[in-house]
Amino acid sequence: MKNKKNSFLNVSEKIIFILFGVSMLVLIRPDIGEISLQTFLIFLISLVWVGTGIYFLRKGRLTIKKEFYRMDLLAGVLFIWEFLSVIGKMIQSTGETTVDYSINVAIMSLVILYFLFMQILSFKRNYLDIILYIGLLVMAFMMFCFLCDMEFLWMIAETIENTGQAASFLMLIGMIVIYQYCMCQDKFRSCFYLLTCGVTFLLLFINYNIISLWIMVLIFFMIPVWFRPTAALIKKDMQVMFLYVFMLSNMSLLTNYTSLLIVDLPFELEHSVYLELLFAIGAAVFFYYWDRIPNGADPDRLILRKLRRIYKFLTIATIIIFSGLLFGGSKWNSLGEGAGSSMIKSFAIPLIKDLSQNDNIFIIGIEKIGLTGIVLILVFLIMAIGRIGRNRGFDKPMTGLFSMITIIFMLQLLFWVPAMNVLPIYLYFMVLALFYKEERIKVKSTVFNIERKEVNDNEKI
């Protein structure tokens, strides 16, 4: 009887594998009628999934969840609105003009997937693996194009239509592999994750989306704040960040003094010098506190609250500096030629140029969805932000990953809208971040006071 009740869940888990595989691998650009191929396939998969649910419901092997939220009502209204928009476009269209239904069908597909994800609320660690391995396959092809022949980029056009959409794909892989590396205890797998981080970072640099480079720095600072700040976690987070800054500071050498890449990138030696100076100052502060940790302490149990407060300060400072550079706009060009002014201009001007190259959710929403549709989406996202903090905690690490991915996804929407190849995956993690009931992990931790060099055992955090 138990197998019968769980049969829909088992089928749903297989459909999720197929959904992730199709959305990440089907990246070419042919259209089916007036709908892109990828949107059509995702819509088809969602309908097959709904049909499967109806079959199990009629057989009495599926029970609809009775718990509903206000977000569900918003999602339902959004689906009806987009369906009516499609009907209206069909009525108004003529044979002489082509009407694009992709955005409407894409939103309806995502709403259907939202309700299906809500119905099962299931997660398997294999999902992270399939995203990572398929991502590696796509990144290997991207690397081949950037190193050997750019003529084949049409095969992944859905991913690299603009730098923002490519950054969304790469940051999704980056967040997953950084989390896997920080939490992994196996040395062989840790080496694999670290190498994957290197490939992801290199492609992010080649993509040259300045905003995404800032967001990655924010992710490094968020990890000790968002997860249990053990010495082991902070050590691995700093290892990955060192790899990131080291590679970024040497991109000017790779692009200006070698012919390895067949794309032109505007990395300059000036940027490398500034990055290395900033990182040297940060490393000096970090090792000052790290050297105070007593020998023999268990790094998996040792909680470093002081360093967590420092990372929290750095997270807030990064957001403030990033916002200040954006709000300055073109006025940064009027700064003088002093050393400080030159450094600020070298960071601000590329950031402002990058901001104007992509359309955010507000622009795309007004142009293609309409005022009513974009208002419904924004209200939905605002309600989601209010719920994220209530579901996460240090004792729920997977939920912490889901919520971090969701926050970074929402941050991206302020600058660009990710492509359809990653939107179902971001939506899946959003649903888990909001509603997933993860079993709490009870850990007895050792809290270390860095300033007093005191160790207190049997404390919980």
Residues 418-433 have pLDDT tens digits of 888 899 999 999 999 9
Q: What is the pLDDT of residues 44-93, one digit of tens each?
A: 999 999 999 999 988 888 888 767 888 999 999 999 999 998 888 888 77
Domain-located, residue 287: yes
Query: Of 122, 154, 187, which residue constitutes the final position of a domain?
Result: 122
| Domain co-membership, 98 together with 225 | no
Is the Cβ–Cβ distance between 34 and 98 less than 8 Å? yes
Q: What is the pLDDT of residues 370-382, one digit of tens each?
A: 888 899 999 999 9
Domain-located, residue 424: yes
Domain-located, residue 140: no
Contacting residues for 18 by C-beta, under 8 A, at least 6 apart = 45
3-state secondary structure of 44: helix
Domain-located, residue 134: no
| Domain co-membership, 330 together with 289 | yes
443: left (phi over 0), alpha (psi -120 to 50) or beta: beta
- Structure-model confidence comparison of residues 202 and 331, the more confident one: 202
Is the Cβ–Cβ distance between 412 and 216 less than 8 Å? no
User: Cα–Cα distances in Å, from 318 out to 163, 237, 267, 270, 351?
Assistant: 22, 17, 21, 21, 14
User: Does the pLDDT at position 1 exceed 50?
Assistant: no
| Domain co-membership, 149 together with 103 | no
Domain-located, residue 226: yes
Phi and psi, residue 445, nearest 5°: -110, 160
Where residue 247 falls among pLDDT bands split at 50, 70, 90? very high
Buried b (16+ CB within 10 A) or exposed e, 407-431: bbbbebbebbbbbbbbbbbbbbbbb
Domain-located, residue 90: yes
Extract the tokens encoding 273: 């010098």
Q: Which residues pair with 303 in a beta bridge?
A: 230, 447
Lowest mean pLDDT among 162-166, 190-194, 235-239: 162-166
CA angle 284, 288, 291 (to 5 degrees): 130
E-strand stretches of 113-257:
none
Domain of 242, in residue numbers: 145-459
| Domain co-membership, 246 together with 100 | no
User: Does the pLDDT at position 131 exceed 90?
Assistant: yes
User: Does the pLDDT at position 96 exceed 80?
Assistant: no
Query: Of 122, 155, 188, which residue constitutes the final position of a domain?
Result: 122
Domain-located, residue 135: no
User: Cα–Cα distances in Å, from 114 out to 76, 423, 434?
Assistant: 10, 11, 12
User: Does the pLDDT at position 98 exceed 80?
Assistant: no
Domain count, the chain: 2
